[in-house]
Each structure stands twice: as C-alpha cells, then as structure tokens.
Amino acid sequence: MELKSRPRRRDFITISSGESFSPFHYSVGRFGSQFLTELRDHKRFMGMRCAGCGRVYVPPRPVCGPCFKKMDDWVEVGPNGTLIAFTILRFAFIDPETGQKKPVPYGYGFIRLDGADTQLQHFLPVGAKPPKIGMKVRPVFEEIRHGNLRDIRHFEEIA
Amino acid sequence: MAKRVAIVGSGQTDHAGNRRDVTGCELINEAVRRALEDAQLKLSDIDGVVIGNMDHFEGINGAELWSIEGSGGIGKPTIKLTTGGTTGSTLAIGGTHLVASGFFDRLLVIGWEKNSESDTTGAITTAFDPIWDRLVFAGAISGLAVEASAYMHRYGVTEKDAARAAVRDRRHAVNNPHAHLRKEISVDDVLRSPMFSDPLKALDICPRTDGACAVIYASEDVAEKICPQPAWILATANRHLYSMVSDVDFSSLKSLELASREAYRKAGVREPLKEIGVMELYTPYSFANLSWIEALGLAKPGEGAKLIWDGVTDMGGELPMNPSGGVIATNPIGATGLIRAAECSLQIMGRAGARQVPDVKRALSTGFGGCFWSDVLIYGTEKPA
C-alpha cells in the first residue's frame, strides 16, 4: 500500500526524554575523604607521596598509576600554587550534575599547589584582568564548608 | 602465530548534524549495507560483529543489543567495544586483534553516534571523575582549550597559526561527499567566529555529527580474494596514561608520542615524514593539527605551525593530512576514529576519489579521547612479512 506523502525534513518526529535527572552517590574513598576533611576543618591541602617515584599527588589516592605501588605517605602542600593552564568558558551546556545549564562565563585553571607534582582544577575569577600562565595564586575559602571542592570559592592571583 | 590482517571494504553514512530521518539502528544499517556492497560480500559471509559508540551520548545503554537488526549481528558473535573518544580507533585496533587471533576471517566492525540526540558537552562530562574533575570541566572543548593555552604560552604559537590548520581541513572536506561540513572557510572566518572557550572559537572546533562507519576486516587467508588491493595493517599501538584530567602533563601529548614511536618501530618506519604517504588524524580542534604532529615526531616542539603554513600537509604537499576533511569537518564521535581507518584504507586501495593522494604506499591514522589517550594504526599496500 502506498502512503499519501513522504515526510519532508521538518516532518520527522523526535520524542524528548523530559527533564530527566538521576541522582548518584559517589564514594570518595579513604584518602579522598581525609583530604576533604582536612580542607573543610583546617583549610589545609594534603598530598600523597609515592615511595617509588617520589611524585606528590593531589588529590591523594592509594595507588601511583605509573609505579603501580601502594602509597601511604601524607605531605602537606600549598595552599598557594602556580597557574599551569586555563580557559574561560563562554558557551552554556547542560551540567549533568544538576540537569540545568551551567552559568557562564566562568574561568578555571590547572593549579599546581606548592610541593605537588599534579594539578588541582578550580575556578578563577573572570575580571578585567585575564589570568596569566605562571601567575602565583592562593585559595579563597567559603565561610561554611561541607567537605567538597566547593569549600574553595576559587583561586585568586597573589598581588 | 598471529594472522596478517587487512581492511577489504568500508561504508559510511551521509554524515550530518541531524539525521532525524533515521533511528540509531537504521543509521548503523546504512553504513553496514554500504560496507557489504563495497566489499561485494553478503551478510552470511561475515562471521562476527564488533560495534561501538559512547553510550551516554544517546542515553540508551546496551547499543550492542538494540542495534542487532541494523548491525547484522543476528545469529553471530557480537560484542561492543567502547573507550570514549577513542572508541572508533579502539574498534579499528580491536578488529585487527580479533582477526589476527584466527577466530574470525571476515569481521564487521561498526562505529556510530547520534550526537544530535543529547547535549554533547554534558554527556562527555559524565565520563569524567565526579569528585575531582567535574566541578569545572566542560567536556572536550574546555579540556582542549586548556591544552591550547599551555601550548601557546610555551611556544608563542598564535590563534592565527591554528586557524590555518582549520582552513586546511575544511578545504579538504569539500572533496569528500561524506563530510558533514563542506563549505570552505578563511583564516579571518575562524578568527572572527564566536569565542567558545578561550582561546578556542567556534570554527577551531569539530562539529557534533550523526553518522556511522562500518569496516570489513579480513584475514590473510581470504583478504586478496575479496579485494585486489587490501589495506594491510602494519602496526597498532595505544597508550592510556591518566585517570584524572588534573594529572595531565600539558608539555606535549605524551600518549601520542609513545604510541606513535611503538607503531613506527613495528612498521619499520624511520622517517615518518618521508615514508608515510598520508595521515588521517583524530585532531578534533585546530591546535591539535600543530602540537600533535610534533608529538608524532614530524616537527620539533613548537614548530608544527611551520609545516602547516608551508603547505606540507595540504593536498599536493609532501605529507597530506586529513584529505577527508578530518574531525573538524565531521565528528560522529564513536565512529570518528574508525572513519580515519576507513579513509586510510581507501587511500591505500587508490579508491578515495577526489580526495585521493597519489601513490600512497603507507598511511597512518590516530584516535584521541578520554584523559588525553591516543591510538595509532599504520596501513600499507604490501602484505607484512
């Protein structure tokens, strides 16, 4: 049987899922929990040193990937650091954490805390003066802290 | 002893920003039919199916299950391979390994994506660590923008240098009937396009594409009966170095450095610029066409732009790159790495039409994804020893 019309481009139908949002509950692990607790209670950054290669990891974790060695040697790092790389986000996208568009623009950078060999990613203020790679930065903490990375508002340039 | 393996046919869909006329299953079928027709094989000749995509882009998990009518996998061993951005190149490498094992003689390998069905950046973000990476991360674009910022700072490379590379890929895409974006652009167009994530502008970045690619792999026992000039796989290599984005060393793309050196060694390549005839690179943004060709050992650190400006990588140059238009012209993510393999096979077979590079003896393709992961494959006209 022949149907009367062939659909044109605008006639193809799509079905939307709706504003689906599914909450998850992620384990942070022992070392991650200790790191966030120190951050929350003492505004202190703790890294983990590998006995094999000597690298200091932030965030801390129990295994050095390249050496595949177990680690258990806490070292304090930061709180100041150096900006290694950055961008300023200007396009809006759906944040899978909230199901909402993420507010833009926002700046963020890779910050190597003093004494660490890896970086921490965090917000940078977007002001009149653009961030510069190599600049020294310090964390600005929130008054009320909950034990997650948002306990730091952002990192700002040390004048 | 592993069997020698070749690509003997391939098929691609009509890639576009939105293929509302087909479901995922139907899109896959379009590529599969074209691949079978290309190799002049029937579905009954195929003895296994490997399929891959990045599940979260469509939000319908289990693609290997619900695509079975379209993939042709009914009654055959069918598995899924998926590794994020490298899914397509992992499929290309996995297909090689499965046929080399001797368990399969004619293997159908499929990569696909319907990027139009979700918010691509939001979906990519779900592939990254929710505790440490997601607070600030904004998918591939922000991750690559950060890489570009470090590269520009280190070597004084400019946005104009990068724009020239985007212009090249878009110019090449005009020759490719499958390409998604087939309109030429100028350096000024790139520089004037809207800023998405400093320093990346709209025209520095790949599009989101709906598309599928199917490639037929054959063992040495049957390859030459199917295809007069099979594209023999000379080498595969891959490197995955980090779990967290925050660990990435931005001084160069280390995973590509390591994987390419392994591939060169396996294929007996000493001077890649001279010995490889064409490259199809998974370079999803303009700056990658500068810094990652340095990682491939084709230019000294910071000097990739010179090769681009001198036309070395243009059609007609010493080493043409991305004759298909590359990822900047077409990016159905789970298919993207496999399209690079399909394009290299066409170049080796001398069947690439208007985008053919003359007299290709060896070709190289890459894949990129995840936490700055890299895959490399090298293809040749001659059956390896």
Which one is predicted more confidently, B68 or A95?
Answer: B68
- Write out the DSSP string of B210-263: EEEEEEEEEETTTHHHH-SS-EEEEEEEEE---SSGGG--TTS-HHHHHHHHHH
Give the nearest partner residue to B243 out of A65, A96, A97, using CB atoms. A65
Best of B120, B149, B204, B242 to substitute, by most chain A Cβ atoms within 10 angstroms, is B149
- Domains in chain B, start-ordered, CATH in brackets? 5-119+209-226 (3.40.47.10), 123-207+235-380 (3.40.47.10)
Comparing C-alpha atoms, which of B73, B90, B72, B71 is closest to residue B82? B90
Q: How confident is the model at residue A19 (pLDDT cuts 50, 70, 90)?
A: confident
Beta strand pairing call for B78-80 and A69-70 = unpaired
| pLDDT recorded at residue B385 | 87
Assess whether the previous peptide bond of A59 is cis (omega < 30° from 0): yes
**Mean pLDDT for the stretch of residues B346-350:** 98
Check whether the bond before B358 is cis (ω within 30° of 0).
Answer: no
Nearest residue of B to residue A55 by CA position? B247
Token duo for residue A152: 């730091």
Confidence of residue B125 (pLDDT cuts 50, 70, 90): confident
DSSP H/E element including B337? helix B333-349
Distance CA B70, CA A82 (A): 52
CB contact (8 A) between residue B138 and residue A102: yes
Instruction: Say if the Cβ atoms of A119 and B246 lie within 8 Å.
Output: yes
Distance from CA of A153 to the nearest CA of B (A): 11
Rounded average pLDDT over B133-156: 93
What pLDDT does residue B185 have? 98
Residues A59-104: tens digit of each pLDDT: 999 999 999 999 999 999 999 999 999 999 998 888 877 778 888 9
- Determine whether the interchain pair A119/B247 forms a contact, defined as Cβ–Cβ distance below 8 Å: yes
Domain residue spans of chain A: 28-157
Kindly tell me the burial class for residue A128, based on how many C-beta atoms sit within 10 Å of its own C-beta (0-12, 13-18, 19 or more).
exposed
Which residues, 6+ apart, have CB-to-CB distance to B192 below 8 Å?
none
Query: Is it the case that residue B58 has pLDDT exceeding 90?
Result: no
What is residue B166's three-state secondary structure?
A: helix
ipTM of the complex: 0.91
Question: Averaged over A106-117, what is the pLDDT?
Answer: 97
Cβ distance B150 to A133 less than 8 Å, yes or no, reads: yes
Other CB atoms closer than 10 Å to residue B317's CB: what's the count?
15
**Rounded Cα distance, A19 and A95, in Å:** 12
Using DSSP, state whether B132 is helix, strand or coil: coil
Give me the pLDDT at residue B126, please: 85
Q: What is the pLDDT of residue A128?
A: 78
With beta carbons under 8 A apart, name residues in chain A contacting B60: none
Which residue in A has a C-alpha nearest to residue B116's C-alpha? A14
User: Residues B87-109, buried b or exposed e (16+ Cβ, 10 A)?
Assistant: bbbbbbbbbbebbbeeebbbbbb
Q: How many residues does chain B have?
A: 385
**Which of B247, B255, B287, B291 has the most A C-beta neighbours within 10 Å, making it the best mutation to test the interface with A?**
B247
- Cα(B59)–Cα(B78) distance, rounded to whole angstroms? 21
- pLDDT recorded at residue A159: 83
Question: For residue B356, what pLDDT band results from cuts at 50, 70 and 90?
Answer: very high
Contacts of A106 in chain B (CB under 8 A): 136
> What's the pLDDT band for A8 if we cut at 50, 70, 90?
confident
Chain B residue set in contact with A, beta carbons under 8 Å = 20-21, 59, 119, 121-123, 125-126, 130-139, 141-142, 145-147, 149-150, 153, 194-200, 241-248, 250
B195 and A90 within 8 Å at the Cβ level: the answer is yes
DSSP run (H or E) holding A121: strand A120-124
Model confidence over B276-315: pLDDT tens digits? 999 999 999 999 999 999 999 999 999 999 999 999 999 9
User: Six-digit token pair at A40?
Assistant: 């929350």
Q: Is the omega angle on the peptide bond into residue A105 within 30 degrees of 0, that is, cis?
A: yes
**Which candidate from A32, A87, A95 shows the least CB-CB separation from B149?**
A87
